[in-house]
Amino acid sequence: MRAGRIVAIVPAFNEAGAIGGVVDAIRAADPAYDVVVIDDGSSDETGAIARSRGAAVVTLPYNVGIGGTVQTGFKYALEHGYETAVRLDGDGQHDPGELGKLLGPIHRDEADIVTGSRFIDGSGEYRPPLARRIGIVWFARIVSLLIRQQVTDTTSGFQALNRKGIALFAGDYPNDYPEVEAMVLVFKHRLRLVEVPVTMRGRETGQSSITFVRSIYYVFKVTLALFMAMVRRYAVPQEEVRHP
Amino acid sequence: MTSVRTSVAAAIASLLLILIVLELIRGRRLKERYALLWLVTGVVLFVLSAWRDGLNTIAGWLGVSTYPPAILFAIATLFIIIVLLHYSTVLSQLDDQNTLLAQRVALLEERLRAQEEKTDAD
């Protein structure tokens, strides 16, 4: 067990331009964070830069997609015995200075998983394009209905988790747009989910990996996955993990 | 004209396809990613089976006047070809990834063995 240490999981795919600043900012925010960058088969210097700034780097042999990448981070956290994890994106849109807000409900034992929301009132600086906004509202409505709890930002990758949350996601984590479906997983496993307001910056470099046609496909796919997740039985044996 | 019996049988068959696919997803034996094309196939076939005028109209467009249900076969075949092509691309990707994994494991084993020999020698 790593008492008092918090692991900061940073999934990154071709973020050579931003990753160095992200790692530095996390370490500057609080020295208690151990940063692990999960490099999703980048073809640029993402991994090398992260390592040079003092982060642990797990390099996937090929691109596995965002869900598998983030889950690798949760497995890392579980295997290394961390009690608490935070997760933020490698493109610099999440401000490590706000991690304290996310960790509040975890430290007070009010939640197992905390997500930072851009859309809780008072934090409305972020104005996504129309198509994106429709998707955001659609998923917020459906997920809120399914899990019987008001959520506003279902695609936020800015999160904090306790050991229960880490273990759940290490054993079972969805693939594309994983955060949306993960909220249903959290509900079905009777863990506590809390949203806190955060502000997010625009992307520093690179571009969002989602094009318009793909986004229509994802809306259908994720909606189907949401309903399937609701009717699925969860006698799924949790993966046994040795604790070195 | 399409006989009612043909329509009912085709509708039941496509409905069965949809239900089986959904049950496979629920049981985690099929991922949503690979199920969507099957579901689209099922829905299109179901619509054309139940909506008899539609089927006859499309048959007319395509110059099939004697036996409209042949259009069901044609569309089913078309979708099966699309699904198979999709799977071929997925298979090719898996093939590449599998090779890469085998290479990674082999290289890691070699590195581990070299490390162990070095440790033994010390």
A240 lies in some domain? no
Confidence of residue A205 (pLDDT cuts 50, 70, 90): very low
Query: In this predicted model, what pLDDT tens digit does every residue of A62-94 receive, in sequence order?
Result: 999 999 999 999 999 999 999 999 999 999 999
Return the residue in B22, B23, B32 with the most chain A beta carbons within 10 A, the one to mutate for interface testing.
B32
> Is residue A203 over pLDDT 70?
no
Cβ separation A62–B97 shorter than 8 A:
yes
A16 lies in some domain? yes
CATH number at residue A71: 3.90.550.10
Q: How far apart are CA A60 and CA A67, in angstroms?
A: 13
Chain B residues with CB inside 8 Å of A176's CB?
A: 33
Which residues have a Cβ under 8 Å from the Cβ of A153 and sit 6 or more positions away? A115, A116, A117, A118, A119, A120, A136, A140, A195
Looking at every residue in chain A, the average pLDDT score rounds to 89
For B33, the closest of A175, A231, A232 (CB atoms) is A175
- pLDDT at res. A175: 87
Range of the domain at A102: 6-231
Query: In this predicted model, what pLDDT tens digit does every residue of B77-119 receive, in sequence order?
Result: 999 999 999 999 999 999 999 999 999 999 999 999 999 999 8
For A232, the closest of B26, B39, B101 (CB atoms) is B26
> Is residue A143 over pLDDT 60?
yes
A236 lies in some domain? no
- pLDDT at res. A204: 44
Cβ separation B26–A228 shorter than 8 A:
yes
Q: How far apart are CA A58 and CA A76, in angstroms?
A: 9
| Distances, alpha carbon B56 to alpha carbons B5, B74, B80, in Å | 15, 14, 22
A189 lies in some domain? yes
Residue with tokens 């090398």: A48
> Is residue A13 over pLDDT 90?
yes
Confidence of residue A207 (pLDDT cuts 50, 70, 90): low
A237 lies in some domain? no
A136 lies in some domain? yes
| Overall domain count for chain A | 1
Which residues have a Cβ under 8 Å from the Cβ of A145 and sit 6 or more positions away? none
